[in-house]
């Protein structure tokens, strides 16, 4: 039984709905720019504003990006239609949202979490975003009770894909993994920048609990989750809330709940009985979207290697654990091909992984440092010509200069790996200086080694290789 952090016997069941903004140049149904952060109401046109007589025309690039998402999530691309979802709200300019309803573009896929858990993807459909309202005065930033509201239509009509998972998620950690993995895939295929903090990726969670083996419980939809961390916290809170209700003889009401980051709770937003009747019907201003097989195959063939496969490849290349932090971080930054280049330039991939993880956070997927230079550095290190500490200093200089010969930089700094006989000398001095520590170490107290190594490094002015020092100390104790 999986550890879900819940009281004994309770199973957590979560389905996730993730909205992502597509990285198109223009909007889903008009030629206005799709750009975040511009002056309000500058990226608008008759279609965006829903002016009388304006008509939508589907953005082909948005369709292509939506297909990339579907195919990367192992979905089937199908002939699909658009519907109107009707409701009144000031930032919904036409008073209906154009969205895919019963015939979505992508269906029946799945996503593998790192570690091998399979989460089914029910659908990934296209829709348009709404404008953004800001309410002034009154309480709680809601329109009711506010003094006035301002609307920015720059976001209206921005293309979205909504990815709906099956309720296959069983722990808060899996939910976090799902969103992280999904984000990595979206970025990898170039469909979205998928930034939760900027709102280009938004996540709602359908949470329910049940006793193992029981029927599915009533679910609540949790909205306003603005980070992966909050997602986990919101799910954990909501599951415990539901269990508390059920264990005290209550029942769960199907409702939409709002996650409040400040008090760490979810609050009722609206009950299902108050839900809008959206009066969906086929959008008569658009025709069926049926990408032909040739187009689908072209998009599929052009898909890049996806993060999971890249992690496997990098793990094989570097000898690191596939589920390690280093592999995950480097692949997410898109620096795995760089490590491949280092290896191809004769470098040590394992050491390169360490350096890239530690020092390349700002570098992006095309680091300025030529791969051959990092390769040269890892070779010096592997051959014992430089200690790890020295290598780090040299790398700092190389990154700053955008390249350089590590051997020359090391020489200019007087970094010469000390001969073992010289190090032996420092070890002798160190033991003499720390007799108590040496005694403790010999008595089996491993912690005592730290003080010894520190003293010896100090004596060598940092030029001794810490690994060599450790090895000598171990040798002496055992021998």
Partner 1 sequence: MSNFSTATSIAHNVASGAQSAVSVVEEHLQRIGQREEEVHAFNLVTSAEARERAADLDARIARGENVGLLAGVPIALKDNMCTRGVPTTCSSKILEGWKPPYNATVVDKLFAAGAVFVGKTNLDEFAMGSSTENSAFGPTRNPLDTSRVPGGSSGGSAAAVAAGFAAVSLGSDTGGSIRQPAALCGVVGVKPTYGLVSRYGLVAFASSLDQIGPFSHSVADAALLTEVIAGHDPMDSTSIPKPAPSLVSVLGRGVEGMRIGRVADLPEGADADVLARLDAAFIALEKAGATIVDVKLPSLSYALTAYYLIAPAEASSNLARYDGVRYGNRVAANDMNNMYADTRAAGFGDEVKRRIMLGTYALSAGYYDAYYGKALKVRRLISNDFAAAYANADVILTPTSPTVAFPFGAKTDDPLTMYLCDIFTIPTNLAGHPAMSVPFGTGQANMPVGVQILAPTLGEEAMFKVAAVLESAA
C-beta atoms surrounding 346 within 10 Å: 11
Listed in sequence order, the residues at least 6 apart from 96 whose beta carbon sits closer than 8 Å to its beta carbon are: 84, 85, 86, 87
C-beta closer to partner 1: residue 91 or 236: 91
Interaction pattern, residues 85-104, with partner 1; x per rule: CB under 8 A: -x-x-x--xxxx--------
Indicate whether 287 belongs to the interface with partner 1 (CB under 8 A): yes
**Residue 356, SS3?**
helix
With 0-12 / 13-18 / 19 or more C-beta atoms within 10 angstroms meaning exposed / middle / buried, residue 71 is: buried
Indicate whether 286 belongs to the interface with partner 1 (CB under 8 A): yes
C-beta closer to partner 1: residue 110 or 278: 278
Interaction pattern, residues 154-193, with partner 1; x per rule: CB under 8 A: ----------------------------------------
Give the shortest CB-141-to-partner 1 separation in angstroms: 15
Give the shortest CB-260-to-partner 1 separation in angstroms: 24
The whole-angstrom separation of Cα 317 and Cα 404 is 25
The whole-angstrom separation of Cα 181 and Cα 378 is 30
Q: What is the dihedral of CA 440, 442, 446, 447, to 10 degrees?
A: 30
Stretch that binds partner 1, among 45-53, 332-340, 343-351, 363-371 (CB under 8 A): 45-53
Indicate whether 49 belongs to the interface with partner 1 (CB under 8 A): yes
C-beta closer to partner 1: residue 31 or 384: 31
- Chain centre distance of CA 305: 17
Stretch that binds partner 1, among 55-63, 102-110, 175-183, 457-465 (CB under 8 A): 55-63
The whole-angstrom separation of Cα 42 and Cα 112 is 41
Q: What is the dihedral of CA 22, 301, 335, 190, to 10 degrees?
A: -10
The whole-angstrom separation of Cα 53 and Cα 227 is 40
Q: What's the maximum distance between 2 C-alpha atoms anywhere in the chain?
A: 91
Give the shortest CB-91-to-partner 1 separation in angstroms: 9
Stretch that binds partner 1, among 83-91, 160-168, 201-209, 299-307 (CB under 8 A): 83-91
Indicate whether 226 belongs to the interface with partner 1 (CB under 8 A): no
Indicate whether 359 belongs to the interface with partner 1 (CB under 8 A): no
Indicate whether 148 belongs to the interface with partner 1 (CB under 8 A): no
Interacting residue ranges for partner 1, rule: CB under 8 A:
46, 49-58, 84, 86, 88, 90, 93-96, 143-144, 151, 277, 279-281, 284-287
């Amino acid at each position: 039984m999986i550890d879900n952090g819940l009281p004994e016997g309770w199973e957590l069941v979560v389905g996730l709905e993730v909205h992502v903004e597509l990285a198109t140049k223009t909007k889903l149904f008009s030629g206005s720019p799709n750009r975040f952060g511009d002056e309000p109401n500058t990226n608008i046109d008759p279609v965006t504003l829903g002016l009388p007589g304006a008509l939508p025309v589907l953005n082909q690039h948005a369709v292509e990006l939506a297909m990339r998402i579907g195919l990367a999530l192992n979905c089937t691309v199908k002939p699909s239609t658009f519907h109107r979802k009707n409701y009144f709200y000031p930032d919904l300019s036409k008073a209906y949202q154009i969205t895919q309803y019963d015939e979505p573009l992508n269906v029946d896929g799945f996503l593998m979490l790192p570690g091998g858990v399979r989460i089914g993807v029910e659908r990934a459909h296209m829709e348009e975003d709404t404008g953004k309202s800001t309410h002034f005065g009154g309480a709680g930033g809601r329109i009711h009770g506010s003094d006035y509201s301002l609307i920015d239509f720059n976001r209206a009509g921005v293309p979205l894909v909504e990815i709906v998972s099956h309720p296959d998620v069983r722990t808060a950690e899996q939910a976090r993994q799902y969103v992280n993995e999904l984000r990595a895939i979206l970025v990898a295929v170039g469909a979205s920048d998928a930034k939760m903090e900027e709102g280009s990726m938004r996540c709602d969670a359908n949470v329910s609990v049940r006793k193992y083996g029981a029927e599915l419980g009533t679910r609540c939809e949790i909205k306003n989750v603005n980070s992966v961390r909050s997602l986990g916290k919101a799910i954990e809170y909501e599951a415990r809330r539901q269990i508390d209700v059920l264990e005290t003889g209550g029942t769960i009401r199907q409702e939409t709940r709002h996650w409040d980051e400040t008090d760490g709770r979810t609050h009722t937003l609206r009950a299902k009985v108050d839900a809008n009747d959206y009066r969906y019907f086929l959008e008569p201003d658009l025709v069926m979207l049926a990408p032909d097989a040739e187009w689908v195959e072209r998009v599929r063939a052009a898909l890049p290697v996806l993060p999971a496969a890249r992690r496997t490849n990098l793990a094989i290349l570097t000898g690191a654990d596939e589920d390690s932090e280093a592999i995950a971080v480097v692949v997410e930054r898109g620096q795995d091909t760089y490590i491949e280049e280092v290896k191809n330039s004769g470098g040590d991939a394992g050491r390169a992984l360490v350096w890239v993880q530690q020092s390349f956070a700002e570098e992006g997927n095309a680091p300025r440092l030529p791969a051959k230079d990092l390769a040269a550095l890892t070779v010096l290190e592997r051959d014992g010509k430089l200690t790890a500490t020295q290598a780090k200093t040299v790398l700092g200089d190389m990154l700053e200069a955008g390249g350089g010969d590590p051997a020359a930089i090391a020489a200019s700094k007087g970094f010469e790996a000390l001969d073992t006989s010289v190090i032996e000398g420092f070890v002798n001095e160190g033991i003499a200086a720390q007799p108590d520590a040496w005694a403790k170490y010999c008595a089996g107290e491993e912690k005592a080694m730290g003080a010894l190594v520190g003293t010896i490094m100090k004596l060598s002015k940092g030029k001794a290789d810490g690994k060599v020092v450790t090895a000598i100390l171990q040798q002496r104790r055992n021998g």
